[in-house]
Structure 1
Amino acid sequence: MKIAFGYIYGRQERLQNEDYPEEMFYGYHYYLEKYGSVEIIEYGVVKFKILKLIERLIIKVTKLPIHLFHMTSLKNLSLIMKLDYLVLTNDRLLFSLLPLLYIRKLFRRELNLTVFAMNMFKPEDLNSKNYIKILILRSAYRLVSNFIFLGEGESKIAKQFYQSDEKINFIPFYVDESFWVNKFNPKRDGILFVGNDSNREFDKVIELANYFKDIKFTVVSKHLKISDFTGDNVTFIKGSWGNQKISDSELREIYCKSKLVIIPLVESYQPSGQSVTLQAMALKTPVLISSTKGFWDKENFKDSENIFFNFENTLESWKNKINELYSDEKLLSIVGNNSLQTIYKSYTKNYFEKKLAKIIGL
């Protein structure tokens, strides 16, 4: 039995450390423990400018994240030809590996291929006239054994696009509750923002930090800069999950010291902010997040019970919400404690791994 997991970047490096959370490995450790050996495929470095230009042209024409030259190599082809099971943790990997996957299908039996999909579909794709994109999406569907969407809204769009429930699954993300533990319960102070994906409303973060000059803000993002902020109330860390300028342990400590986590989002069907929300909840740090169509679990999350939603999502409503919540120590404590219970109920590593194993059939 030969199994491999595919990632964009950062996992090989993370495995060199002793202290890291497992959720960003999407079940890798479960299969490593079960079978003793699991291969890893990651994006490679594209050295030549001409290849980067070709990739950009392909992306412009297809409107799909196809990074052929990050993944196309004899080494990856050799590995894929030997695999029984392949789990790709991002649909970008699927599109980037298409040539190698077709070679595999041509010369060997079918591969059991599972793909985690995030931002693969938008509502406008249902009426798209981009026939190249449609052709690629439909041909990719034939290669895949199981799609796993982390947002229920996007999974419904996928079912409409493919006109079938077959192969389409939904599992909310999870959190490694054994890592994200608040062991010290320090005094909490300030507001925390963490995030880099394109659905974050970075302008609102800047406006809020500059408006609430009497509240300490900690901002962790690669898309902002310290000069965006006008006061001395902001601690800025230019970082992302991949570059490890801030370690997981350091981020855990910042969560534990923060009174509130804010996640302003643009409206979309993507489950943006999911990992940050769950990490904060596991540490009993309350979260204030935009209510969007892409929110992943409206059944288990209740406003002012285990999370705070901003339903209006205007700048003024964000100011009002922060004014209302920040000084309400009792409510913040109740919501923080309820947050942790929600994690234990529905978002543990074990819960996710059981769902994944059932879908893959392994």
Structure 2
Amino acid sequence: MKPEKVLLISDFALPVKAGTERLVFGAAEWLNKKGIKTDILTPNWNNLKEKETVDGVTVYRFNTHEIHKTNPLKRINDYINAGKKLGEYDVYHGFYTMPPLLATIKLAKKMKGKSVLTFFGREQLEKNFSNPIKKLFLLNSLKKADKITTYTWNLQKHFKEKYFKEKKITTLQGWAENKFKKISCEKPKEKIVLFVGRIDSSKGIFVLLEAFEKIKDKVKAKLVFVGPPYEKEKLNQKIKESGMQDLTEVKGFVSDEELNKLYCQSEVVVVPALHGDAFGLSLMEAVVLGKPVVCTDSIGSPEGTDDKELIVERGNVEELSEMLEKILSDKKFYENAVKISGKRAVLFNKDKVMKKYLQVYSEL
């Protein structure tokens, strides 16, 4: 049965517009336009308004511990108490990190709704497994969810084989917003290597910088970083030390219009993240726009096949530099990489993905 009210539960939401934030908000926006009242519940990390409505989406924020002082149990309880005040929803959908996922299960049960979980990566779960008691507790708790979904097909396969054999797991992948479109744009003189994501060491920004330094005299290219500027100062310092100020640019946040233009101007989009299941929303956007993407983990595919030509080992500077040199200088290799993106683009159509959300909700 189609739900009337949905609550999306996430540690990350507006006003930051990184991958998780954009995905959660984009889902809420789409569902609201289809007549399903969809709100977002998130911690108030930045002393913002407790309630804010943007483009038809209402975001509820609650006070909890400071963002740099991790206290998962407190955050779970704070989620539950804040969610209870909002009244009943038909579906409670938690994303990404363990506190909102566990809170989603408990809140749905208390409020007589159904629970859906979406995992973005295996590490968010498996990093807790060094303690066997904690591992048993987490798995038993998560199995109580009415539905488990994953962000990639590879993760779906991994979870099904290792942890949730009795569960039917569905992949709810990300998408490219319809506003990201192929446009005619003047190509710059140098080839653009584009990074889009959190400007943070976990995303492999320093690995990418070091790899680019190895090829800077072999290809005429420029390295551009776009995204939340968490370690912008440190990155700028490293760039200065390398003497590559004229070959790199750290933009930080940009508008959607500018990001669309940068995608179209770029030769390749690279996000060499150091964590597992690292095929983020920016790479999906790049694929839809026909750009080759280089990353450190494969998304898999619904057919079980995989194009692994553009996967590099996490943290391997030499391998990444060789990949960049090849894709920037080998025309035949580049054309094949573009074809790979072309085959994948259909997977990340927003309307098609959101219909999968509706199907999951309706089957609860």
TM over 0.5: yes
Look up the match of 1:77: 84
Decide whether the 8 Å contact of 1:5 with 1:28 is kept in 2. yes
Distance 2:44 2:37 in 1: 22
- Given candidates 189, 192, 201, the residue that maps to 2:194 is 192
Using the TM superposition, give the Cα deviation of residue 159 of structure 1 relative to its aligned residue in structure 2, in angstroms. 3.3
Decide whether the 8 Å contact of 2:91 with 2:108 is kept in 1. no
* Cα distance, 1:77–1:300 mapped onto 2, change above 3 Å: same
Look up the match of 2:57: none
> Are positions 1:350 and 2:351 aligned together?
yes
Using the TM superposition, give the Cα deviation of residue 339 of structure 1 relative to its aligned residue in structure 2, in angstroms. 1.9
Distance 2:88 2:251 in 1: 40
Letter in 1 for 2:8: F
Distance 1:9 1:170 in 2: 21
Look up the match of 2:44: 44
Letter in 1 for 2:204: E
Decide whether the 8 Å contact of 2:28 with 2:40 is kept in 1. no
Distance 2:68 2:231 in 1: 26
Distance 1:249 1:92 in 2: 33
Decide whether the 8 Å contact of 1:126 with 1:161 is kept in 2. no
> Are positions 1:4 and 2:7 aligned together?
yes
Distance 1:29 1:181 in 2: 19
* Cα distance, 1:103–1:315 mapped onto 2, change above 3 Å: closer
Over the residues paired in the alignment, what is the CA RMSD in angstroms? Answer: 3.8
Look up the match of 1:226: 236
Look up the match of 1:257: 265
What TM-score results when the alignment is normalised by the length of structure 2?
Answer: 0.74
> Where do residues 159-178 of structure 1 align in structure 2 (5 Å cutoff)?
159-160=160-161, 162-176=163-177, 178=178
Greater shift, 250-259 or 311-320, is seen at 311-320
> Where do residues 1-362 of structure 1 align in structure 2 (5 Å cutoff)?
1-11=4-14, 23-25=23-25, 27-45=27-45, 51-52=65-66, 56=70, 58-59=71-72, 67-68=75-76, 71=79, 73-74=81-82, 76-79=83-86, 81-95=87-101, 97=103, 102=106, 105-106=109-110, 108-109=111-112, 111-119=113-121, 128-142=130-144, 144-160=145-161, 162-176=163-177, 178-187=178-187, 189-196=191-198, 199-214=202-217, 215-221=221-227, 222-224=230-232, 225-229=235-239, 230=242, 231-237=244-250, 239=252, 245-266=253-274, 270-290=276-296, 292=297, 295-297=299-301, 299=304, 301-303=306-308, 308-310=310-312, 314-329=316-331, 331-333=333-335, 335-336=337-338, 339-344=341-346, 346-361=347-362
- Deviation by residue 1:222-258 (Cα, 9 ceiling, x = unmatched): 335211112123433363xxxxx32222222112111
Q: What secondary structure sits across from 1:206 in the alignment? A: helix
* Cα distance, 1:325–1:12 mapped onto 2, change above 3 Å: closer
Using the TM superposition, give the Cα deviation of residue 115 of structure 1 relative to its aligned residue in structure 2, in angstroms. 1.4
Using the TM superposition, give the Cα deviation of residue 194 of structure 1 relative to its aligned residue in structure 2, in angstroms. 2.2
What TM-score results when the alignment is normalised by the length of structure 1?
Answer: 0.74
- Percentage of identical aligned residues: 16
Letter in 2 for 1:152: W
Decide whether the 8 Å contact of 1:6 with 1:86 is kept in 2. yes
Q: What secondary structure sits across from 1:343 in the alignment? A: helix
Distance 1:93 1:211 in 2: 41
Distance 1:95 1:36 in 2: 22
* Cα distance, 1:213–1:123 mapped onto 2, change above 3 Å: same
Using the TM superposition, give the Cα deviation of residue 218 of structure 1 relative to its aligned residue in structure 2, in angstroms. 0.7
Decide whether the 8 Å contact of 2:45 with 2:66 is kept in 1. no
Decide whether the 8 Å contact of 1:191 with 1:217 is kept in 2. yes
Using the TM superposition, give the Cα deviation of residue 302 of structure 1 relative to its aligned residue in structure 2, in angstroms. 2.7
Using the TM superposition, give the Cα deviation of residue 24 of structure 1 relative to its aligned residue in structure 2, in angstroms. 4.8
Unpaired runs of 5+ residues, structure 2, are: 48-62
Q: What secondary structure sits across from 1:174 in the alignment? A: coil
Using the TM superposition, give the Cα deviation of residue 149 of structure 1 relative to its aligned residue in structure 2, in angstroms. 0.8
Distance 2:79 2:334 in 1: 46
Decide whether the 8 Å contact of 1:172 with 1:296 is kept in 2. no
Using the TM superposition, give the Cα deviation of residue 140 of structure 1 relative to its aligned residue in structure 2, in angstroms. 3.9
* Cα distance, 1:340–1:154 mapped onto 2, change above 3 Å: closer
- Deviation by residue 1:124-166 (Cα, 9 ceiling, x = unmatched): 5796434145324422432x21111113343344335545332
Letter in 2 for 1:302: D
- Deviation by residue 1:17-40 (Cα, 9 ceiling, x = unmatched): xxxx97553632342122253222
- Deviation by residue 1:66-113 (Cα, 9 ceiling, x = unmatched): 734763554x3221x421112223344534636xx646635x53x111
Distance 1:50 1:324 in 2: 48
Letter in 1 for 2:307: K
* Cα distance, 1:70–1:340 mapped onto 2, change above 3 Å: farther
Unpaired runs of 5+ residues, structure 1, are: 15-20, 240-244
Equivalenced residues, count: 329
Distance 1:89 1:163 in 2: 17
Q: What secondary structure sits across from 2:311 in the alignment? A: strand
Q: Which has the higher strand share?
A: 2
